[in-house]
Amino acid sequence: MLFSRTPAVRSADQIAVMRRAGRVVAEMHAAIREAIAPGVTTGELDRIGREVLARNGATSNFLGYGHPPFPGVICASVNDMVVHGVPTDDVVLADGDIVSIDCGAIVDGWHGDAAFTAPVGTVPAEVLRLIEVTEASLAAGIEAMVDGNRIGDIGAAVERVALKAGLGVVEGYTGHAIGQAMHEAPNIPNQGTPGTGAKLRVGNVLAIEPMLVLGSPETMVLDDDWSVVTADGRWAAHAEHTIAITPDGPEILTLP
């Protein structure tokens, strides 16, 4: 039997600090989104992220994470790369690419984490739709974050939107509870059966992060031990927010 730990319950004061961390992440997103253009390197986007963290007195929960220690404050994943792309001046964005940016911030010990996927210049309609459906699946997952619902309701909502649009949902990478660590138990899968899993409560704070693909959901990790790419080379999109369950329903903390 699988045990799924119940997500921690945060006080309103703790959520207020997480909201500040979330706003820093939103500011990173806005600055990076503005800079995304043909000819820009993902290393330049990482430096923009560092500037935003510094001017807010915030620190990165990505830099130094894991093994080998992650070298950036953002993940920048281009085209068939799903997540965990290492930012570098060797990767120059080109017209027709898409890039997924995932980043986070720590403020007073509390974490925020969010991701978006953006087109670089002009991309085919099919690719724009991939991005839009990924965002819609995130929105559906957030809507399921209601006191008394269960974790399986979130994954079921994400999956329903993706499958209805004929897109694949990457397996093996999930959302997560978040608080004084970026990745807290339990994981929040992007697949699920309604009415199953741990019960959701007011005060839970979760990062929901669908990863959708045009082709097969199978992935592999490159030799840098970070970059996750689709096995079939078809393109992928990623969207994520950090969300609190409040008495009034879900509140996205990683918005401006």
Give me the residues that bind Mg ion (CB under 5 A), please. 102, 113, 115, 207, 209, 240
Q: Is 93 or 103 the residue whose CB approaches Mg ion more closely?
A: 103
The tokens describing 227, both together, are 């970059």
User: To the nearest whole angstrom, how small is the minimum distance from the Cβ of residue 66 to Mg ion?
Assistant: 13
Q: Is 113 or 135 the residue whose CB approaches Mg ion more closely?
A: 113
**Measured CA distances, 135 to 59, 116, 162 (Å):** 27, 8, 10
**Element holding 82 (H helix, E strand):** strand 81-83
Q: Is 109 or 195 the residue whose CB approaches Mg ion more closely?
A: 109
C-beta separation of 198 from 6 below 8 A: yes
**Element holding 106 (H helix, E strand):** strand 98-107
Q: Is 183 or 199 the residue whose CB approaches Mg ion more closely?
A: 183
User: To the nearest whole angstrom, how small is the minimum distance from the Cβ of residue 166 to Mg ion?
Assistant: 25
User: To the nearest whole angstrom, how small is the minimum distance from the Cβ of residue 183 to Mg ion?
Assistant: 7
Please, is 183 exposed, middle or buried when counting C-beta atoms within 10 Å of its C-beta (0-12, 13-18, 19+)? middle
Place of tokens 């990505």: 62
User: To the nearest whole angstrom, how small is the minimum distance from the Cβ of residue 193 to Mg ion?
Assistant: 22
